[in-house]
Structure 1
Amino acid sequence: METIKKRLEFIYEDQDIIDPVWTEIKKRIHEIKKKPIRQRKQKWDEKDIVLITYGDQVKEEEIPALKTFKNMYDRFLAKNFEIVHILPFYPYSSDDGFSVIDYKKVNPTIGEWKEVKDLSKSARLMFDYVCNHISSQSDWFQNYLEGNPHYKDYFIELDPSVDLSTVTRPRAYPLLTKFKLLNGEERYVWTTFSEDQIDLNFSNPQVLLEMLDVLLFYIEEGAEYIRLDAVGFIWKEIGTTCIHHEKAHELVKLFRDVVDEVANGTVVITETNVPHKDNISYFGNGHDEAHMVYQFPLPPLVLYSIMRENGKVLTDWAKTLHDTSQDTTYFNFLASHDGIGMNPIRGIIPEEEILSMVKDLQEEVALVSYKRNPDGSESPYEINVTYLDALNKKTDNDDLRVKRFIVAHSILLTLPGVPAVYIQSILGSRNDYKGVSRTGMNRSINRQKYKLEELEEDLLNQGTLRHKVYNQLSDMISVRKEEKLFHPNIAMEVMDLGEAFFAFDRFNKYGEKLTVIHNLKNEEVECSITGKFINVLTQNKIEIDDSIVIGPYQFLWLKPIN
């Protein structure tokens, strides 16, 4: 508990502020510790695979969407996924949930807290903690506009003449948005992501107390994984980049301390879509900050490597991944509700190659979103596309689509870390152009919602792309979950087998080893390895005297045998 006080002293410095805030935090922690909090699993293992989904992903008439989802999950997905990340399921005004109107309510279109609790009986749950910003339609901001003095410093007012050129801009929108107060006065307010997403002012300790109350409420309601959305932007200081500020890191550490105190085993995950060096800084010293960080370079690197049929960049990058502490690991993913970010591979892939890849995808299957640079120019920020379509051309047949898609997911499932699969991926979904037309948002291309009856029919029909993807990915996941050498913290040694391959060994301190080889080319390639193995995917024994020919997009999970 004393560590929390030290965090407050670093963040606020003024003792007159710190003492009452510290007293209030202690009180709230003691109150929640008296309540029956569900026991958490202590540490992760090879069985922990996350499903990322919206709460209203599947629908039936007159039935709460979360109830429909639970029924669908129990039938089709529970065997694959231990953890379900329900993307923001609170009332919202934009950005498909990430502009939260009320942190403590469930969006009535999908159900109530009862439906959330019912789902927690089938899966461990991951909640979004949208801590950087709140909806312009929230009570907090509406009170601010009405002149309620309590809310005056909940948000950041600035004169538009202030020089903000050093501030990192994740979007091509103005940083400040003009609002008119009830009395007719105009104010310019900090809005990092959009005019509807109002940044919270954590330099006001009352905001910290409000948001800690939200965090504790989520723990009480069953959140076992907590995703800190856009947390890198949480602390603003004029004259800095306003991203990864040392006080932003201190706030994450404080959140971690509170979580450990009231519900040890709850996993804190930082969502920072930034270059790898900055991303892993949220591990702190390996024991005091995030338990997991998103592995943001992975989606674009795997995509680039399969598009170019060349694993050199992926191999070189993987060699730089250091083993994490036993208290931390990577949160690996290929697809999510957002696009495929380009920033995390800047510095890994030359800019001209990034632009070439973006151009190729844009001409074939993808939409592109841009960010504004300090000099006023724009750069591609993310590719908007389903991962299945990103890997393939319009003219490819379904068999080829599935091969590319499944080899990509073998990489996801075998690297160190906890893997997460977006629901559009396990469902074998294609681009939703109608959704983009309906919402005007590029990201809608990868956020399609379904009628349960139609979706189930596709999943059960052996001739559909959905059926092929769902079954092949499910089979691979089931093997992965039974292999202890895929524990998230088991060591990895990357191998150089030629540019056609991405390969590595996973091994433990007892000398047990598993070799993973991916052919990234659409042709047979000879691979120079020797030994006697069992392919854990097929249970077939293989004896290799000199080399083995690996088929197009084939992958092997090989365990040595005597």
Structure 2
Amino acid sequence: MNKIKQRLRRIYGEQENIETIYHSILQRIEETKAKKLKQRKPQWDEKDVVLITYGDQFQQKGQAPLKTFKQMFDRYLTESFSLTHILPFYPYSSDDGFSVIDYKQVNEELGTWKDIEHLSHSTRLMFDHVCNHVSQESQWFQKYLAGDPEVDNYFISPGPDVDTSAVTRPRATPLLSRFTMHDGEEHYIWTTFSRDQVDVNYENPLVLLEMIDVLLFYMEQGAEYVRLDAIGFMWKEMGTACIHHEKTHEIIKLFRDVTDLAAEGTVLITETNVPHEHNISYFGNGNDEAHMVYQFPLPPLVLYSVYKGSAEVLSQWARSLPAAREENTFFNFLASHDGIGLNPIRGLVPEKEILDMVEGLEKEGALVSSKQNEDGSESPYELNVTYMDALSKQTDDDTLRLKRMLVAHSILLTMPGVPSVYIQSMIGSRNDEAGVAQTSMNRSINRKKFDYPTLQEELDHEGSLREQTLLELNRLIAKRKNEPLFHPASRMEVLQTNEKLFAFIRKKRNEEMLVVHNLSSEQATMGLHGSYVDILTDQRWGTPTLLTLDPYQFVWLKKVEEGV
């Protein structure tokens, strides 16, 4: 308990109301504990694979989308996914849910809290805590505009002439947005991501208390994993970059303390789409900050490697990863509701090669979102494209398209960490150009919503790209879940071999698994020493031999005793 008070002192110094805030936090923790929440799984393991989806992903006439999603999940996905990340399902005003109007309500167009509870009977749940900003339509901000003293210091209004040149900008939109107050006075309010996403002011301890209350509320509603959205930007200090501030880290550690006390086993995951060294800083000392961090370099690195037909950079990066631990791990993914971020590979891949890849993918239908640099210029920030279409050309046939998709997801499922698969990837989606035309948002290209009866026909159509993608990914996930060597904490040793191959060994006690991926359009070979069985095909390999892999082929070779 004293740890919480110490963290409050580090954040706020000797402010008069800190003692009151401290006791309010303790009281709120006790309220959560008194609800006797569902027992959490004490630790993640190889059986944990996460599905990422929107709550209204599947729709049919006369039924709440959350009910329809449960039907779809129970029919096609229940054996594969132990957890489901439902992207923000609260009332919102823009950005497909990330401009939250009310943290504690379910969007009535999706369903109710009862529907969320019913879904928890099929899968454990992961919620978003959009804790950096709120919608301009939220009650807090509307009260602020009305001059309500209760929220007088909930937002940041530095004035139009303040020097913000040092502030890191993730978007090309204005940092400060002009709003008119109830008395006609104009305020310039801090809006890191958009005018409709108004940053809250953590310098006010009451805001911190509000956000802790929301975090605990989500745990009470069944969240076993909580994604902390855009948390790198939480603390603002003029003259600094206003990202990864030491007090931001202290707030995340405080969230961790509260979580561990209220419902041990609840997992906090930080979302920071930034270069690798900053991303992993949210592990803290390994035990005091995030339980997991998003593995942001993985999506663009896998894409770049397939695009180049070379695993050289991917292998070099994988060798640099910190050793796997029991206490924390990576949250691995290839695709998500957002685009494929490019910043995490800057410094790993030469800028010219990044720009060449962006140009090549743009010619194949990908869209590009840009960020503003300190000198006022713009650089590509993310690629907006389904992962399937990112990996292949428009003229490629579906057989080749599926091979590339599967080799990429083999990497996802075999690397150290907890893997997550985006629903659009799971069902083999192509670029939704009509969605972009309708919303004028680049990210809509990978956020298609489906008429469920129509989608069922496609998924049940034998031999279709959707049916084959779902079938093969379900098969790979099942193999992963039944192999203890893929425990997130088992060691990884990346091998030096043919540059076309991404090869590594996963080790646990006296067992080991050799995983090899050919990321090129040509055959590739490597020497094999030992006796192995491919757990994907049951094919056996003796020693010594030359392992030859066809284009985009991969093997999961478990070592066995000689002659067995």
For normalisation by structure 1, the TM-score amounts to 0.99
Shift in Å at residue 380 of structure 1?
A: 0.3
Shift in Å at residue 232 of structure 1?
A: 0.5
Report the Cα distance in structure 1 between the residues aligned to 2:32 and 2:297, rounded to whole angstroms.
38
Partner of 2:241: 241
Matches within 5 A, 1:185-196: 185-196=185-196
Partner of 2:64: 64
Report the Cα distance in structure 2 between the residues aligned to 1:154 and 1:553, rounded to whole angstroms.
52
Partner of 2:157: 157
Partner of 2:75: 75
Query: What root-mean-square deviation, in Å, do the aligned CA atoms of Structure 1 and Structure 2 show?
Result: 0.8
Partner of 1:535: 534
Q: Which runs of 5+ in 1 are unaligned?
A: none
* Counterpart amino acid of residue 515 in structure 1: L
Give CA-to-partner distance per residue, 1:465-504, whole Å, 9 cap, x none: 1011111111111001000000001000000111110000
Partner of 2:517: 518
Query: Is residue 50–residue 84 contact of structure 1 (8 Å, CA) maintained in 2?
Result: yes
Query: Is residue 498–residue 524 contact of structure 2 (8 Å, CA) maintained in 1?
Result: no
Report the Cα distance in structure 2 between the residues aligned to 1:546 and 1:30, rounded to whole angstroms.
62
Shift in Å at residue 15 of structure 1?
A: 4.2
Give CA-to-partner distance per residue, 1:102-142, whole Å, 9 cap, x none: 00000000000000000011110000000000000001000
Matches within 5 A, 1:80-159: 80-159=80-159
Query: Is residue 99–residue 134 contact of structure 1 (8 Å, CA) maintained in 2?
Result: yes
Percent same amino acid among aligned pairs?
Answer: 59
Report the Cα distance in structure 2 between the residues aligned to 1:157 and 1:217, rounded to whole angstroms.
29
Partner of 1:487: 487
Report the Cα distance in structure 1 between the residues aligned to 2:282 and 2:473, rounded to whole angstroms.
31
Partner of 1:409: 409
Report the Cα distance in structure 1 between the residues aligned to 2:67 and 2:224, rounded to whole angstroms.
20
Shift in Å at residue 359 of structure 1?
A: 0.6
Q: Does 1:553 align with 2:552?
A: yes
For normalisation by structure 2, the TM-score amounts to 0.99
Report the Cα distance in structure 2 between the residues aligned to 1:15 and 1:300, rounded to whole angstroms.
44
Matches within 5 A, 1:15-34: 15-34=15-34
Partner of 1:457: 457
* Counterpart amino acid of residue 370 in structure 2: Y
Structure 1 range deviating more: 546-555 or 53-62: 546-555
Report the Cα distance in structure 2 between the residues aligned to 1:558 and 1:207, rounded to whole angstroms.
52
Tell me, what secondary structure is at the counterpart of 2:17?
Answer: helix
Matches within 5 A, 1:73-472: 73-472=73-472
Report the Cα distance in structure 2 between the residues aligned to 1:488 and 1:31, rounded to whole angstroms.
33
Query: Is residue 286–residue 324 contact of structure 1 (8 Å, CA) maintained in 2?
Result: no
Tell me, what secondary structure is at the counterpart of 2:445?
Answer: helix
* Counterpart amino acid of residue 281 in structure 1: S
Tell me, what secondary structure is at the counterpart of 1:31?
Answer: helix
Query: Is residue 157–residue 190 contact of structure 1 (8 Å, CA) maintained in 2?
Result: yes
* Counterpart amino acid of residue 380 in structure 1: P
Q: Which runs of 5+ in 2 are unaligned?
A: none
Query: Is residue 99–residue 133 contact of structure 1 (8 Å, CA) maintained in 2?
Result: yes
Give CA-to-partner distance per residue, 1:261-286, whole Å, 9 cap, x none: 01000000000000000000000000
Query: Is residue 84–residue 123 contact of structure 1 (8 Å, CA) maintained in 2?
Result: yes
Report the Cα distance in structure 1 between the residues aligned to 2:559 and 2:456, rounded to whole angstroms.
40
Shift in Å at residue 11 of structure 1?
A: 0.4
Shift in Å at residue 354 of structure 1?
A: 0.7
Structure 1 range deviating more: 152-161 or 170-179: 152-161
Partner of 1:38: 38
Shift in Å at residue 426 of structure 1?
A: 0.5
Report the Cα distance in structure 2 between the residues aligned to 1:161 and 1:511, rounded to whole angstroms.
64
* Counterpart amino acid of residue 527 in structure 2: S
Report the Cα distance in structure 1 between the residues aligned to 2:20 and 2:120, rounded to whole angstroms.
36
The count of corresponding residues between Structure 1 and Structure 2 is 561
Report the Cα distance in structure 1 between the residues aligned to 2:255 and 2:324, rounded to whole angstroms.
21
Query: Is residue 101–residue 134 contact of structure 1 (8 Å, CA) maintained in 2?
Result: yes
Query: Is residue 527–residue 544 contact of structure 2 (8 Å, CA) maintained in 1?
Result: no
Report the Cα distance in structure 2 between the residues aligned to 1:98 and 1:31, rounded to whole angstroms.
28
